[in-house]
Structure 1
Amino acid sequence: MPRKPREKSPMGIYHVIMRGVNRQIIFKDKEDRTIFLDKMFRFGEKGEYKIFAYCLMDNHIHLLLQEQEESLSTSIKRICSSYVRWYNKKYERIGHLFQERFRSEVVDNERYFLTVLRYIHQNPIKAQIITNIDEYPWSSYHQYLKDSLHIDSHNIDKKFVLTLFSSERKNALKSFREFHQEINDDNCLEIEEPQKSDETVKEIIKARFGIEPSSVKEEEKSQQIAIVSELKTIGGVSKRQISRVTGLSRRIVDRV
């Protein structure tokens, strides 16, 4: 049965999700994420697309972008192919990393554009990785408010986005931040809960409990129970992973 052709956006703007094949983790460390962003922005600077927002999760990526000189499919294939060649060489592997067919949806009006923008930036909150949007370094949210920790902010088309909030930059930034703090039920191209990487679970422990994961086993029993109990409520975190990251025995984790 032939594939259904992708719907075309009259504005050329799309929300895209690229996922690891079989839920495979596509970013194992900070270098992986930085290299992906480098490649994504390099192709964008060549005029192949405009980037309005991104968020890198452990096994999938959200993008809000606009077609320019080439089709959406060609642009995504170019990004993925370049990253996979680098990734396979680094980890001495062969084969696919991303699902063959990425998911996309048309963004055809300003209201939905802003909904997708916020949804992408809040994705780590919805995944229970963080509780405050300011805590996640691997999205474009910070680039709108200050210089990014990883990539020069001029690579994001901030002007177009901020003018949707106000023609005055100061007011636009204020409204941008307030909009992202609003409680909402945004639902855009939802995907199944992904398996979180060990690195992400470690960051969750440090952010929520203020301790290093390796020191959990040295905490009082009541604190160990509290930590394990909370980790178990987070989607994409397995018991085996909790044991591995914290150093607690599987028996202790199972009993909580």
Structure 2
Amino acid sequence: MPRTAREKSKSGIYHIVWRGANRQEIFHDEEDRFKYATILEKYKNRSQLIVYAWCLMGNHVHLLIREGNEELSTTMKRIAVSYAMYYNWKYKTTGHLFQDRFKSENVETDTYLRTVVRYIHQNPVKAGMVHKVEEWKWSSCQAYYDIQTIFNNLIERNFVINMFSKVERVAIKRFKEFNEKQNNDNCLDDFEYMRRLSDDEARSEIKKFLYGVEIAHVKSLPRLERNEILKKVKTIEGVSQRQAARILGISANLIFKA
């Protein structure tokens, strides 16, 4: 069946979630996240995109953006292709990195826009990656809190900040209170927060797929047998591929390629 065309947002603003294919990790280290943010900034400037909020997780990206001078899907494809080329070069892999199609929802009111900003910023906290929203440096939160980062110019924060007060100091204080408030926000319904497992928890989950093989012996298995195990390990929610590689004592590239 042909895909249903996206409904155009009257405001031109969209909340976007783009996941790795098969929910695979798309960012394995800080260099990867830095590269994606750099690419995002490049195409933001080129297409006159406006970014209100962003967050780079392990296997997905959150963006709150206003469409620029070209179709949103075109801009997003440029960003995805550019990052995938970098990823495949760095990790010597091939094939699709992202899901075929990003998920999006229209953001038509100021109230919902503020909600989505908070939802995006709280992702790392609800996933158990940090304790406070400002501790996750791969999001727009620090820029909103007036903490200087190299990506402060990536976002347009005044549009949101001015909703809280015309006095900047007061606006930031009120925004922080709103941004950190406990909530049951559920934007883009199919999203589920994934808690990162500790090494002990991850080791226990990995053992379930080894069928009697000792963890220390996985790296010595024949390639085909080893890859079958690694493919299953990659599906364990809450276990990063780098974490699995560390536990199994193998190269991270072996897991990426499996």
Matched, 1:69 2:69: yes
1:93 aligned residue: 93
1:236 aligned residue: 238
| 2-structure distance, mates of 1:158, 1:109 | 16
- Shift in alpha-carbon separation, 1:169–1:195, aligned structure 2, 3 A: closer
Alignment check: 8 A CA contact 1:47 1:69 kept: yes
1:111 aligned residue: 111
Using structure 2 for the length normalisation, give the TM-score.
0.75
1:167 aligned residue: 166
SS of alignment partner, residue 8 of structure 1 = coil
| 2-structure distance, mates of 1:72, 1:242 | 36
Pairwise mapping of residues 116-135 of structure 1 onto structure 2 (< 5 A)?
A: 116-135=116-135
2:155 aligned residue: 156
Structure 2: gaps (5+ residues): 200-236, 250-258
1:44 aligned residue: 44
Alignment check: 8 A CA contact 1:56 1:62 kept: yes
- Please give the root-mean-square deviation of Cα atoms over the aligned residues, in Å: 2.4
What is the aligned-residue identity percentage?
Answer: 45
SS of alignment partner, residue 16 of structure 2 = strand
SS of alignment partner, residue 100 of structure 2 = coil
Report the Cα offset of residue 131 of structure 1: 2.1
Report the Cα offset of residue 245 of structure 1: 5.0
**Post-superposition CA distance 1:35-82 (Å, at most 9, x none):** 000010111112431001001000000000000201111111011011
Report the Cα offset of residue 159 of structure 1: 1.4
Matched, 1:142 2:142: yes
| 2-structure distance, mates of 1:180, 1:146 | 14
Report the Cα offset of residue 147 of structure 1: 3.9
Deviates more, 1:153-162 or 1:64-73: 153-162
Using structure 1 for the length normalisation, give the TM-score.
0.76
Aligned residues: 210
- Shift in alpha-carbon separation, 1:194–1:99, aligned structure 2, 3 A: farther
| 2-structure distance, mates of 1:201, 1:26 | 20
